[in-house]
């Protein structure tokens, strides 16, 4: 214990001397020194054991030596895998626990190998003081690049023998961030923020709590297993890290589905860890299996993937793992017998606002602010309109969505079922893109302007792609921006249809026996002399209704009316009584248009 204490003190004192001798410029104004310190603060990616997806991000810093990292216990507890990424983009595995104290929100982890990063120098004798300026190095945007925050110590408190530092900062630093004084010495570990804490007030654990915990550990190491602090294996028991993986192969069974197989000298029942990513994306997905073969689906057709298999988590990227790559075939075209894709587009929708089943033109641009709002107060829907074949046997399909961002990253949703109603003439599927937007925000730290490409897949076929331009405009308050955007969206008119009709009518409560749509000629040059409108009625549960005893769900009305370019006319009321007492919605669509030059558009 004395030897360890001597090492810690020596490291801190040497580092402190080096800092003082680096130059006369104070650390707070020394750009080179600040950037050197920032290189020892890493972004932590914590992966969930059940889903294999990244569940949390935060920070941690190198301390004591180049193989030791200090961070927040609550940040990493309960995860199945922790990766640390430095500012150079290098990934480091954390495979062992040196010591942990859940009550203090403190854990000290051991790197799998030498990180090659210098430890931050630790404050030695002078205690922090109220009013003292501090600097916080934190990974705020989840992109691996650290941010520098400046603040002041507001209070020092000792609660049940544990020393805490309260400080101010203009933004909330990530848990596990480094708190430094004006000399560049480490004085605290930023802990997980309490829910009811004031926005500008934050808390750190005095760094000497970590020093004391390190001393008490007396050099012991415990294997890190899914972030459960398990006891070491019994003496003589083989370690899974000693097993090897051989002959890993990947083959594409169907579009977007890959089967991995491998050999191993591990006993039956050994748990294998798998990781995969689109090549060069550094955005991995993880899963586990006790078999020596597994199917992975869905994957993005047309992309090249890299696959990794290991008998334990830490060796996924070291000499014990096996890796292979496979370029997937291009996606199949969407062909489902006589099924017909009528339209596919992206649409903004106010939350809890009824979606209009007629489709105006899809969005071709969206602001960064609107993408942020689409995670809170609005919805960005990918909407498809599909006419099913009359002989459709399987009304439920499977689908997924993908997104390519300007940074070159590829994202994919989980697989989901798409139910279809064979009684409907046209089936609409509205899918919220929030899952993809959240993945982008977590991995890239924000929404980069440029061209984004969303794609929809169904039953292994590419339904279609939608390009949308993300523009960096000033974000307006929702009360100003979103309703105006909604009006703009619902006022859009597809250029191929020059005759515009009003929205579908809500006739449910109280029941209105007629519908009275306005008609606008959006053609700037040609007058319309005749047009036919089609009507479709639906019940509250969106089931189509027959029009009287005709046995037909669509009914048509033709009007011999002249509509000048840009003019609005009202052809008169249409009775809804023949749809029966269950009528709840009525949709109006243009069936046929005759122009004054005799041209007919159907």
Residue 36 makes CB contacts below 8 A (sequence gap 6+) with: 118
Single out the residue of 320, 325, 377 nearest to residue 352, CA to CA: 377
Confidence at 15, pLDDT banded by 50, 70, 90: very low
Per-residue model confidence (pLDDT) at position 355: 46
**What is the assigned CATH class of domain 241-330?**
mainly beta
Per-residue model confidence (pLDDT) at position 2: 34
Tell me which of 348-357, 374-383, 557-566 is least confident: 348-357
Please state the CATH superfamily assignment of the domain spanning residues 333-491 in this structure: Immunoglobulins (2.60.40.10)
Confidence at 227, pLDDT banded by 50, 70, 90: very low
Provide the 10 A C-beta neighbour count for residue 199. Answer: 10
Q: Which of 80-84, 221-225, 343-347 has the highest mean pLDDT?
A: 343-347
Q: For residue 318, what is the DSSP state?
A: S
Give the pair of three-digit tokens for residue 73: 């216990």
Single out the residue of 151, 99, 161 nearest to residue 128, CA to CA: 151
CA dist., res. 516 & res. 573, Å (int): 5
Burial class (CB in 10 A: 0-12, 13-18, 19+), 94: buried
Does the pLDDT of residue 436 top 80, yes or no? yes
Single out the residue of 354, 336, 334 nearest to residue 344, CA to CA: 334
Pick the more confident residue, 98 or 428.
98
Per-residue model confidence (pLDDT) at position 410: 93
- Looking at the chain, the domain(s) classified CATH 2.40.10.120 span 55-223
CA dist., res. 32 & res. 28, Å (int): 10
Give the pair of three-digit tokens for residue 50: 């059940």
Confidence at 420, pLDDT banded by 50, 70, 90: confident
Average pLDDT over residues 588-593: 83
CA dist., res. 267 & res. 290, Å (int): 10
Per-residue model confidence (pLDDT) at position 548: 75
Confidence at 13, pLDDT banded by 50, 70, 90: very low
Per-residue model confidence (pLDDT) at position 243: 76
Residue 64 makes CB contacts below 8 A (sequence gap 6+) with: 7, 8, 11, 119, 214
Pick the more confident residue, 91 or 151.
151
Beta bridge pairs of residue 398: 417
Give the pair of three-digit tokens for residue 191: 């802990």
The answer to whether the beta carbons of residues 76 and 100 sit under 8 Å apart is no
Does the pLDDT of residue 54 top 80, yes or no? no
Residue 463 makes CB contacts below 8 A (sequence gap 6+) with: 334, 341, 344, 384, 399, 455, 456, 457
Pick the more confident residue, 542 or 354.
542
Supply the Cα-derived Rg of the chain in whole angstroms. 31
Per-residue model confidence (pLDDT) at position 63: 93
What average pLDDT is seen over the chain? Answer: 77
Q: How does pLDDT run across 384-410, given as a tens digit for each residue?
A: 888 766 555 566 778 899 999 998 999
Does the pLDDT of residue 506 top 70, yes or no? no
- 78 CB-side CA count, 13 A: 9
The answer to whether the beta carbons of residues 229 and 97 sit under 8 Å apart is yes
Per-residue model confidence (pLDDT) at position 248: 93
Confidence at 510, pLDDT banded by 50, 70, 90: low
- Looking at the chain, the domain(s) classified CATH 2.60.40.10 span 241-330, 333-491
Instruction: Compute φ and ψ for 571, nearest 5 degrees.
Output: -75, -5
Average pLDDT over residues 411-434: 79
Does the pLDDT of residue 352 top 80, yes or no? no
Does the pLDDT of residue 211 top 80, yes or no? yes
Average pLDDT over residues 218-228: 55
Per-residue model confidence (pLDDT) at position 70: 95
Per-residue model confidence (pLDDT) at position 524: 76
Provide the 10 A C-beta neighbour count for residue 490. Answer: 15
Tell me which of 183-192, 410-419, 514-523 is least confident: 514-523
- The pLDDT > 90 percentage for the chain reads 20
Q: How does pLDDT run across 249-273, given as a tens digit for each residue?
A: 999 988 889 999 999 888 888 888 8
298 preceded by cis ω (within 30°)?
A: yes
Average pLDDT over residues 300-316: 80
**What is the assigned CATH class of domain 499-601?**
mainly beta
Per-residue model confidence (pLDDT) at position 178: 95
Single out the residue of 325, 146, 110 nearest to residue 224, CA to CA: 110
Q: Rounded to the nearest 5 degrees, what angle is found at the Cα of 479, between the Cα atoms of 448 and 201?
A: 65
What's the CATH fold of domain 55-223? Thrombin, subunit H (2.40.10)
Single out the residue of 3, 117, 132 nearest to residue 62, CA to CA: 117
Confidence at 320, pLDDT banded by 50, 70, 90: low
For CA atoms 7, 8, 10, 14, give the dihedral sign.
positive
Give the pair of three-digit tokens for residue 295: 């199917």
Does the pLDDT of residue 307 top 60, yes or no? yes
Does the pLDDT of residue 356 top 70, yes or no? no
Single out the residue of 339, 353, 364, 340 nearest to residue 494, CA to CA: 364
Per-residue model confidence (pLDDT) at position 19: 42
Tell me which of 17-21, 365-369, 467-471 is least confident: 17-21
Per-residue model confidence (pLDDT) at position 42: 92
């Amino acid at each position: 214990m004395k030897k360890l204490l001597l090492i810690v003190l020596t490291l801190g004192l040497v580092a402190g001397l080096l800092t003082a001798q680096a130059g006369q410029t104070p650390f707070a104004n020394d750009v080179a020194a600040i950037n050197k310190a920032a290189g020892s603060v890493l972004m932590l990616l914590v992966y969930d054991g059940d889903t294999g997806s990244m569940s949390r991000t935060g920070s941690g810093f190198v301390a004591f030596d180049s193989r030791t990292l200090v961070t927040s216990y609550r940040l990493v507890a309960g995860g199945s895998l922790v990766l640390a990424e430095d500012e150079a983009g290098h990934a480091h595995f954390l495979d062992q626990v040196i010591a942990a104290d859940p009550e203090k929100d403190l854990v000290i982890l051991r790197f799998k190998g030498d990180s090659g990063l210098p430890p931050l120098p630790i404050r030695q004798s002078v205690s922090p003081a109220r009013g003292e300026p501090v600097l916080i190095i934190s990974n705020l945007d989840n992109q691996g690049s650290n941010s520098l925050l400046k603040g002041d110590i507001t209070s020092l408190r000792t609660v049940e023998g544990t020393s805490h530092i309260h400080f101010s900062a203009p933004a909330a630093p990530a848990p596990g961030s480094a708190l430094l004084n004006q000399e560049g010495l480490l004085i605290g570990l930023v802990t997980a923020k309490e829910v009811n804490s004031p926005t500008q007030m934050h808390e750190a654990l005095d760094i000497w709590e970590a020093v004391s915990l390190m001393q008490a550990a007396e050099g012991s190491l415990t294997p890190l297993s899914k972030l459960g602090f398990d006891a070491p294996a019994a003496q003589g028991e083989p370690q899974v890290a000693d097993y090897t993986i051989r002959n890993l192969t990947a083959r594409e069974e169907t579009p977007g589905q890959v089967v991995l197989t491998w050999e191993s000298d591990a006993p039956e029942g050994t748990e294998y860890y798998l990781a995969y990513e689109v090549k060069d994306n550094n955005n991995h997905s993880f899963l586990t299996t006790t078999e020596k073969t597994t199917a992975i689906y869905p994957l993005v057709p047309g992309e090249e993937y890299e696959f990794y298999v290991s008998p334990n988590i830490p060796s996924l990227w070291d000499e014990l793992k096996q890796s292979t790559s496979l370029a997937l075939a291009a996606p199949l075209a969407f062909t489902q017998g006589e099924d017909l894709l009528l339209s596919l587009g992206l649409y903004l929708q106010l939350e809890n606002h009824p979606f209009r089943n007629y489709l105006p033109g899809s969005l071709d641009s969206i602001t960064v602010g609107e993408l942020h709002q689409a995670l809170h107060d609005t919805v960005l829907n990918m909407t498809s309109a599909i006419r099913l074949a009359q002989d459709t046997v399987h009304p439920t399909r499977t689908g997924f969505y993908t997104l390519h961002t300007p940074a070159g990253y590829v994202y994919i949703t989980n697989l989901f079922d798409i139910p279809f109603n064979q009684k409907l003439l046209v089936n609409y599927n509205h899918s919220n893109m929030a899952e993809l937007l959240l993945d982008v925000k977590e991995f890239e730290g924000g929404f980069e302007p440029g061209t984004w490409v969303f794609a929809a897949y169904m039953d292994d076929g590419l339904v279609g792609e939608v390009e949308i331009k993300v523009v960096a405009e000033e974000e307006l308050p929702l009360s100003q921006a979103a309703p105006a955007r909604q009006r703009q969206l619902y006022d859009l008119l597809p250029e191929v249809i020059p005759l515009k009709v009003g929205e579908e009518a809500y006739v449910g409560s109280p029941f209105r026996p007629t519908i009275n749509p306005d008609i606008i000629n959006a053609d700037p040059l040609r007058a319309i002399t005749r047009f036919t409108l089609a009507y479709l009625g639906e019940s509250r549960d969106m089931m189509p209704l027959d029009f009287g005893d005709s046995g037909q769900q669509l009914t048509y009305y033709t009007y011999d009316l002249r509509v000048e370019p840009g003019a609005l006319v009202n052809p008169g009321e249409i009775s809804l009584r023949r749809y029966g007492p269950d009528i709840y919605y009525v949709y109006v669509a243009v069936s046929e248009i005759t122009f004054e030059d005799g041209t007919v558009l159907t």
